[in-house]
Amino acid sequence: MARRLTLSFSCPDTTGIVAEVAGFVARHRGSITEASQHTEAELRRFFMRVEIEAESLDFPAAEFGERFRPLAERFGMAWTLSDSDRPRRVIILCSKQEHCLYDLLARQVSQDFRFVVPCVISNHEAHRKVVEAHGIPFHFIPVTPENKADAYRRMEAIFRAEQADLIVLARYMQVLDEQLCRDFAGKILNIHHSFLPSFAGAKPYHQAHRRGVKLIGATCHFVTPELDEGPIVEQDVIRVDHSDTPEDMVQLGKDIEKVVLARGLRAVVEDRVLLAGNNKTVVF
Protein backbone atom coordinates (compact mmCIF):
# COMPACT_ATOMS: atom_id res chain seq x y z
CA MET A 1 0.00 0.00 0.00
CA ALA A 2 1.24 3.48 -0.82
CA ARG A 3 2.39 5.68 2.05
CA ARG A 4 -0.38 7.81 3.51
CA LEU A 5 -0.71 10.73 5.89
CA THR A 6 -3.81 10.89 8.01
CA LEU A 7 -4.89 14.21 9.42
CA SER A 8 -7.67 14.26 11.95
CA PHE A 9 -8.87 17.19 13.98
CA SER A 10 -11.72 18.89 15.71
CA CYS A 11 -12.29 22.62 16.18
CA PRO A 12 -15.02 25.14 16.89
CA ASP A 13 -17.54 25.02 14.05
CA THR A 14 -17.53 27.83 11.52
CA THR A 15 -17.87 28.17 7.75
CA GLY A 16 -14.95 27.58 5.46
CA ILE A 17 -13.02 24.91 7.33
CA VAL A 18 -13.34 22.27 4.63
CA ALA A 19 -12.55 24.82 1.96
CA GLU A 20 -9.36 25.85 3.73
CA VAL A 21 -8.18 22.32 4.50
CA ALA A 22 -9.01 20.99 1.04
CA GLY A 23 -7.52 24.14 -0.46
CA PHE A 24 -4.26 23.63 1.43
CA VAL A 25 -3.97 20.05 0.19
CA ALA A 26 -4.93 20.97 -3.36
CA ARG A 27 -2.45 23.83 -3.55
CA HIS A 28 0.25 21.29 -2.83
CA ARG A 29 -1.07 18.84 -5.43
CA GLY A 30 -2.08 16.43 -2.68
CA SER A 31 -4.38 13.58 -3.57
CA ILE A 32 -7.08 12.97 -0.94
CA THR A 33 -7.97 9.27 -0.82
CA GLU A 34 -10.62 9.47 1.89
CA ALA A 35 -12.33 12.30 3.75
CA SER A 36 -15.05 12.41 6.38
CA GLN A 37 -16.53 15.22 8.40
CA HIS A 38 -19.10 15.79 11.09
CA THR A 39 -20.55 18.65 13.07
CA GLU A 40 -21.57 17.98 16.66
CA ALA A 41 -24.38 20.48 16.92
CA GLU A 42 -24.66 20.63 20.71
CA LEU A 43 -20.95 21.24 21.11
CA ARG A 44 -20.81 23.56 18.07
CA ARG A 45 -17.71 21.62 17.14
CA PHE A 46 -16.50 20.37 13.77
CA PHE A 47 -14.65 17.06 13.22
CA MET A 48 -12.72 15.95 10.18
CA ARG A 49 -10.45 13.16 9.01
CA VAL A 50 -8.49 13.30 5.74
CA GLU A 51 -6.22 10.66 4.20
CA ILE A 52 -3.64 11.97 1.75
CA GLU A 53 -1.29 10.07 -0.54
CA ALA A 54 2.13 11.11 0.78
CA GLU A 55 3.86 10.89 -2.62
CA SER A 56 1.35 13.16 -4.32
CA LEU A 57 2.37 16.21 -2.26
CA ASP A 58 4.78 18.74 -3.72
CA PHE A 59 6.80 18.78 -0.48
CA PRO A 60 8.32 16.00 1.66
CA ALA A 61 5.71 14.26 3.80
CA ALA A 62 7.76 14.96 6.90
CA GLU A 63 7.07 18.68 6.47
CA PHE A 64 3.31 18.37 6.46
CA GLY A 65 2.88 19.13 10.14
CA GLU A 66 5.04 22.21 10.08
CA ARG A 67 3.33 23.57 7.00
CA PHE A 68 -0.17 22.81 8.23
CA ARG A 69 0.34 24.29 11.71
CA PRO A 70 -0.64 27.90 10.90
CA LEU A 71 -3.95 26.79 9.44
CA ALA A 72 -4.56 24.52 12.44
CA GLU A 73 -3.88 27.39 14.79
CA ARG A 74 -6.09 29.77 12.92
CA PHE A 75 -9.10 27.48 13.46
CA GLY A 76 -8.09 26.42 16.98
CA MET A 77 -7.83 22.78 15.97
CA ALA A 78 -7.01 19.88 18.26
CA TRP A 79 -5.23 17.80 15.65
CA THR A 80 -3.12 14.70 15.07
CA LEU A 81 -1.14 13.66 12.07
CA SER A 82 -0.08 10.09 11.47
CA ASP A 83 2.08 8.41 8.90
CA SER A 84 1.43 4.92 7.57
CA ASP A 85 5.19 4.40 7.57
CA ARG A 86 5.17 4.50 11.35
CA PRO A 87 2.66 1.87 12.48
CA ARG A 88 1.13 2.18 15.95
CA ARG A 89 2.69 0.29 18.84
CA VAL A 90 -0.02 -1.66 20.67
CA ILE A 91 0.69 -3.46 23.94
CA ILE A 92 -1.76 -6.26 24.72
CA LEU A 93 -2.78 -7.12 28.29
CA CYS A 94 -4.52 -10.43 28.84
CA SER A 95 -5.43 -12.93 31.55
CA LYS A 96 -6.45 -16.57 31.10
CA GLN A 97 -9.04 -16.18 28.38
CA GLU A 98 -7.57 -16.73 24.95
CA HIS A 99 -10.09 -15.54 22.36
CA CYS A 100 -9.22 -11.84 22.12
CA LEU A 101 -5.49 -12.49 22.35
CA TYR A 102 -5.51 -15.08 19.54
CA ASP A 103 -7.69 -12.84 17.43
CA LEU A 104 -5.31 -9.90 17.78
CA LEU A 105 -2.27 -12.09 17.14
CA ALA A 106 -3.85 -13.34 13.92
CA ARG A 107 -4.51 -9.78 12.81
CA GLN A 108 -0.99 -8.79 13.70
CA VAL A 109 0.33 -11.62 11.52
CA SER A 110 -1.80 -10.66 8.52
CA GLN A 111 -1.52 -6.89 9.09
CA ASP A 112 -5.14 -6.39 8.05
CA PHE A 113 -4.57 -3.03 9.57
CA ARG A 114 -1.10 -1.81 10.40
CA PHE A 115 0.11 -2.21 13.95
CA VAL A 116 3.04 -3.59 15.90
CA VAL A 117 2.86 -5.53 19.18
CA PRO A 118 6.03 -4.73 21.13
CA CYS A 119 5.01 -7.10 23.94
CA VAL A 120 2.20 -8.90 25.72
CA ILE A 121 1.67 -8.54 29.47
CA SER A 122 -0.36 -11.04 31.48
CA ASN A 123 -1.14 -11.90 35.07
CA HIS A 124 -1.03 -15.58 34.06
CA GLU A 125 1.57 -17.72 32.34
CA ALA A 126 -1.02 -19.52 30.22
CA HIS A 127 -0.30 -17.95 26.84
CA ARG A 128 3.47 -17.50 26.98
CA LYS A 129 4.22 -20.19 24.38
CA VAL A 130 1.83 -18.91 21.76
CA VAL A 131 2.93 -15.32 22.18
CA GLU A 132 6.60 -16.24 21.99
CA ALA A 133 5.97 -18.38 18.89
CA HIS A 134 5.31 -15.03 17.22
CA GLY A 135 8.62 -13.60 18.39
CA ILE A 136 6.76 -11.25 20.72
CA PRO A 137 8.13 -10.80 24.27
CA PHE A 138 5.81 -12.02 27.03
CA HIS A 139 5.85 -10.39 30.47
CA PHE A 140 4.32 -12.25 33.37
CA ILE A 141 3.24 -9.69 35.95
CA PRO A 142 1.05 -11.24 38.65
CA VAL A 143 -1.32 -8.84 40.36
CA THR A 144 -2.39 -9.49 43.94
CA PRO A 145 -4.07 -7.22 46.47
CA GLU A 146 -0.66 -6.86 48.10
CA ASN A 147 1.55 -6.12 45.10
CA LYS A 148 -0.95 -4.13 43.10
CA ALA A 149 0.79 -0.75 43.19
CA ASP A 150 4.12 -2.35 42.37
CA ALA A 151 2.67 -4.34 39.52
CA TYR A 152 1.11 -1.29 37.92
CA ARG A 153 4.31 0.68 38.21
CA ARG A 154 6.14 -2.17 36.46
CA MET A 155 3.61 -2.05 33.68
CA GLU A 156 3.87 1.68 33.40
CA ALA A 157 7.62 1.35 33.01
CA ILE A 158 7.07 -1.09 30.16
CA PHE A 159 4.48 1.16 28.50
CA ARG A 160 7.00 3.97 28.52
CA ALA A 161 10.05 1.92 27.57
CA GLU A 162 8.16 0.40 24.63
CA GLN A 163 6.75 3.79 23.58
CA ALA A 164 3.27 2.34 23.48
CA ASP A 165 0.75 4.29 21.44
CA LEU A 166 -2.07 2.13 22.71
CA ILE A 167 -2.75 -0.41 25.45
CA VAL A 168 -5.45 -2.98 24.77
CA LEU A 169 -7.14 -4.85 27.60
CA ALA A 170 -7.94 -8.09 25.79
CA ARG A 171 -10.19 -9.49 28.50
CA TYR A 172 -7.60 -8.48 31.10
CA MET A 173 -9.41 -9.29 34.33
CA GLN A 174 -7.86 -6.60 36.52
CA VAL A 175 -9.00 -3.02 37.02
CA LEU A 176 -6.13 -0.63 36.27
CA ASP A 177 -5.39 1.92 38.94
CA GLU A 178 -6.38 5.53 38.69
CA GLN A 179 -2.88 6.73 37.94
CA LEU A 180 -2.60 4.56 34.83
CA CYS A 181 -6.07 5.60 33.69
CA ARG A 182 -5.15 9.24 34.06
CA ASP A 183 -1.63 9.13 32.62
CA PHE A 184 -2.71 7.10 29.60
CA ALA A 185 -6.10 8.70 29.08
CA GLY A 186 -7.35 8.13 25.53
CA LYS A 187 -4.76 5.40 25.01
CA ILE A 188 -6.28 2.43 26.82
CA LEU A 189 -8.98 0.37 25.10
CA ASN A 190 -11.09 -2.19 26.95
CA ILE A 191 -13.63 -4.75 25.84
CA HIS A 192 -16.55 -5.11 28.24
CA HIS A 193 -18.72 -8.17 27.83
CA SER A 194 -22.08 -6.44 27.81
CA PHE A 195 -24.00 -3.94 25.76
CA LEU A 196 -23.21 -0.94 27.95
CA PRO A 197 -24.74 0.86 29.78
CA SER A 198 -26.59 -2.38 30.64
CA PHE A 199 -24.76 -4.71 32.98
CA ALA A 200 -21.67 -2.72 33.86
CA GLY A 201 -19.37 -4.26 36.46
CA ALA A 202 -18.81 -7.88 37.33
CA LYS A 203 -20.33 -10.95 35.69
CA PRO A 204 -22.42 -9.19 33.05
CA TYR A 205 -23.57 -12.45 31.42
CA HIS A 206 -24.98 -13.59 34.72
CA GLN A 207 -26.75 -10.26 35.07
CA ALA A 208 -28.09 -10.65 31.52
CA HIS A 209 -29.30 -14.16 32.25
CA ARG A 210 -31.09 -13.00 35.36
CA ARG A 211 -32.92 -10.23 33.50
CA GLY A 212 -33.94 -12.58 30.69
CA VAL A 213 -32.69 -10.45 27.80
CA LYS A 214 -32.88 -11.89 24.28
CA LEU A 215 -29.59 -10.42 23.03
CA ILE A 216 -26.19 -10.17 24.66
CA GLY A 217 -23.55 -7.66 23.69
CA ALA A 218 -20.01 -6.42 23.88
CA THR A 219 -18.65 -2.89 24.12
CA CYS A 220 -15.23 -1.54 23.22
CA HIS A 221 -14.54 1.67 25.12
CA PHE A 222 -11.75 3.91 26.31
CA VAL A 223 -10.78 3.30 29.90
CA THR A 224 -11.39 6.10 32.38
CA PRO A 225 -11.13 6.04 36.16
CA GLU A 226 -14.89 5.36 36.33
CA LEU A 227 -15.38 1.64 35.66
CA ASP A 228 -17.15 0.89 32.35
CA GLU A 229 -18.12 4.53 31.93
CA GLY A 230 -15.61 5.59 29.29
CA PRO A 231 -16.46 6.79 25.76
CA ILE A 232 -17.84 3.94 23.63
CA VAL A 233 -16.00 3.14 20.39
CA GLU A 234 -17.86 0.09 19.11
CA GLN A 235 -20.63 -2.30 20.16
CA ASP A 236 -22.40 -5.33 18.86
CA VAL A 237 -24.85 -7.99 20.01
CA ILE A 238 -25.87 -11.57 19.31
CA ARG A 239 -29.06 -13.45 19.93
CA VAL A 240 -29.53 -15.79 22.87
CA ASP A 241 -32.59 -17.61 24.07
CA HIS A 242 -34.11 -19.21 27.15
CA SER A 243 -32.04 -22.35 26.68
CA ASP A 244 -28.74 -20.50 27.11
CA THR A 245 -27.22 -20.71 30.56
CA PRO A 246 -24.83 -18.00 31.79
CA GLU A 247 -22.03 -20.40 30.82
CA ASP A 248 -23.41 -20.66 27.26
CA MET A 249 -23.52 -16.88 27.11
CA VAL A 250 -19.90 -16.69 28.20
CA GLN A 251 -18.99 -18.86 25.22
CA LEU A 252 -21.31 -17.26 22.69
CA GLY A 253 -20.21 -13.83 23.80
CA LYS A 254 -16.59 -14.51 22.92
CA ASP A 255 -17.39 -14.25 19.22
CA ILE A 256 -18.60 -10.69 19.53
CA GLU A 257 -16.10 -9.65 22.18
CA LYS A 258 -13.16 -10.36 19.93
CA VAL A 259 -14.69 -8.84 16.83
CA VAL A 260 -15.89 -5.72 18.62
CA LEU A 261 -12.50 -5.23 20.25
CA ALA A 262 -10.71 -5.66 16.93
CA ARG A 263 -13.03 -3.28 15.10
CA GLY A 264 -12.57 -0.73 17.86
CA LEU A 265 -8.80 -1.13 17.81
CA ARG A 266 -8.70 -0.83 14.04
CA ALA A 267 -10.71 2.39 14.13
CA VAL A 268 -8.40 3.88 16.76
CA VAL A 269 -5.24 2.74 14.98
CA GLU A 270 -6.50 4.30 11.76
CA ASP A 271 -7.26 7.60 13.52
CA ARG A 272 -10.95 7.23 12.88
CA VAL A 273 -11.96 7.86 16.48
CA LEU A 274 -12.19 11.39 17.86
CA LEU A 275 -13.45 12.30 21.29
CA ALA A 276 -16.51 14.54 21.35
CA GLY A 277 -16.90 16.04 24.79
CA ASN A 278 -16.31 13.83 27.78
CA ASN A 279 -17.98 10.60 26.94
CA LYS A 280 -18.80 10.38 23.28
CA THR A 281 -16.86 9.43 20.18
CA VAL A 282 -17.04 10.34 16.54
CA VAL A 283 -16.03 7.23 14.56
CA PHE A 284 -15.33 7.96 10.90
Active-site amino acid positions: 228
User: Which listed residue (91, 191, 262, 268) binds a second copy by CB under 8 A?
Assistant: 262
3-class DSSP state for residue 232? strand
**To 10 degrees, what angle do helices 204-211 and 246-269 make?**
120
| Min dist. Cβ of residue 15 to a second copy (A) | 5
User: Which listed residue (2, 3, 12, 18) binds a second copy by CB under 8 A?
Assistant: 18
Should residue 58 be labelled a site residue for a second copy when binding is judged by CB under 8 A?
no
User: Which listed residue (11, 32, 116, 175) binds a second copy by CB under 8 A?
Assistant: 32
Should residue 283 be labelled a site residue for a second copy when binding is judged by CB under 8 A?
yes
| Min dist. Cβ of residue 227 to a second copy (A) | 15
Rank residues 114 and 139 by Cβ distance to a second copy and give the closer one: 114
Gyration radius from the chain CA atoms: 20
In whole angstroms, what is the distance from residue 241 CA to residue 243 CA? 5
In whole angstroms, what is the distance from residue 120 CA to residue 91 CA? 6
| Min dist. Cβ of residue 91 to a second copy (A) | 19
Should residue 215 be labelled a site residue for a second copy when binding is judged by CB under 8 A?
yes
CA angle, 281 then 282 then 284, to 5°: 140
**Buried b or exposed e, range 247-257, using 16+ CB within 10 angstroms:** eebbebbbebb
Which is it for strands 78-83 and 4-12: parallel, antiparallel or unpaired?
Answer: antiparallel
x/- site string to a second copy, residues 235 to 254, per CB under 8 A?
A: xxx---xxx-x-----x--x
User: Among residue numbers 135 through 194, which ones bind a second copy (CB under 8 A)?
Assistant: none
User: Which listed residue (94, 195, 204, 271) binds a second copy by CB under 8 A?
Assistant: 195
